[in-house]
Amino acid sequence: MNADTINLETIGKMMEDSILGKILSALLILACGMLLLHILLKIIKRALDNSTLDQVLHTFIINTVKVIGVILLLITVLTHLGVPTGSFVTVIAAGGAAIALALKDSLGNFAGGILIMLHKPFRQGDLISSNGVEGRVQHIDLLYTTLLTLNYQTITLPNGLLANNTIVNYSMSERRRIDVKASIAYATDIERARQCILDTIAQSSSFLVYPAPFVGVAEHGDSAVILDVQVWCETEHFFAARYELLESIKNAFDEAGIEIPFPQITIHNDIGDFEADHPETEKEGLI
């Protein structure tokens, strides 16, 4: 009995020592893992700071690495302690799938946000047009992009919609072409009208000398000859320059006596001729 008791005590002490040893080694693994993860995050942060990626993407990448690192570290520690991790991983995978289905649209916007930040079709402060909306980019995050329109309306667009549609970025180029139309009467000399417009453009500092402005006949309208006027300006002054151009052309035409026609309808009254040819209609009360 004494020998059996000694053996049981020895086995129990060995088991206690084994469990304690596992716990201590698990804590050591956890501490070393956290230290390595911290070093890895510092290296990634330094690399991101030297990259051209958007700051919002920096935060996302660091947080993603941190979460994945912590999960892997916990699984490693649990496995070392002898805890079955198969069911734990299954629960995480099932939960992830359920969340992905529930947030399908948001994940699409999220993926769109990453694509926008990687490819950079526009930056904060750019004037863009997409999906029938035009405005200056105020803020870009992983799910939505905020625009401020020219009449100071704030519009929020999902990044998934932006990533899958055409985007026109007016700020990519330092210059932009203004296209307007001018109407002149058929009796007006086209060359005289063209020179009048070109002289008006040359007198203003709002328009660029190169590329050279262009004035040409666009079409023969019902009441007028339509001229295309194309002139270049700096992108940031586009709207002001366009308004100035339209006003300057009107004033120049007025000073030069060039007629700007408007649609007219001519009605021919043949009642008198009809009565002269058919005097009996008046008697019968038909007219």
Instruction: Give me the DSSP letters along 135-155.
Output: EEEEEE-SSEEEEE-TTS-EE
Inside any domain, residue 266: no
Inside any domain, residue 286: no
pTM of the model: 0.58
Q: Please give the C-alpha separations between residue 190 and each of 54, 67, 185, in angstroms, as whole numbers.
A: 53, 71, 9
Residues 164 and 237 in one domain: no
Predicted confidence at residue 268, as pLDDT, reads 65
Residues 6 and 98 in one domain: yes
Inside any domain, residue 281: no
Q: Which H or E run contains 181?
A: strand 175-184
Inside any domain, residue 275: no
CA distance 275 to 50: 93
CA distance 36 to 47: 17
Residues 248 and 184 in one domain: yes
pLDDT in tens, 178-224: 999 999 999 899 999 999 999 999 999 999 999 999 999 999 988 89
CA distance 42 to 119: 25
Query: Residue 260 — very low, low, confident or very high, per pLDDT cuts 50/70/90?
Result: confident
Residues 144 and 83 in one domain: no
Residues 228 and 246 in one domain: yes
Residues 29 and 71 in one domain: yes
Residues 141 and 64 in one domain: no
Which contacts (CB < 8 Å, 24+ apart) does range 138-145 have? 140/54, 140/56, 140/113, 140/116, 141/56, 141/113, 142/56, 142/57, 142/60, 142/109, 142/110, 142/113, 142/114, 142/117, 143/106, 143/109, 143/110, 143/113, 144/109, 144/113, 145/113, 145/116
pLDDT in tens, 58-108: 777 787 888 888 888 888 887 777 777 666 667 666 666 666 565 555 677
Inside any domain, residue 230: yes
Which domain-ending residue is among 102, 132, 150? 102
Residues 160 and 183 in one domain: no
Backbone angles phi, psi at 187, to 5 degrees: -80, -10
CATH of the domain at 48: 1.10.287
CATH of the domain at 150: 2.30.30.60
Token output for 57: 């993407």
Q: What is the domain count for the chain?
A: 3
Predicted confidence at residue 223, as pLDDT, reads 85
CATH of the domain at 179: 3.30.70.100
Residues 130 and 211 in one domain: no
Token output for 139: 């803020």
Predicted confidence at residue 49, as pLDDT, reads 80
Residues 93 and 9 in one domain: yes
Q: Which domain holds residue 9?
A: 2-102
Inside any domain, residue 51: yes
Residues 89 and 23 in one domain: yes
Inside any domain, residue 234: yes
Residues 23 and 86 in one domain: yes
β-bridge mates for residue 178, sequence order: 231
Mean pLDDT of 148-162: 89
Inside any domain, residue 26: yes
Q: Which of 145-154, 232-241, 268-277 has the lowest mean pLDDT?
A: 268-277
Q: Which H or E run contains 226?
A: strand 225-234
Q: Which residue has the higher pLDDT, 57 or 148?
A: 148
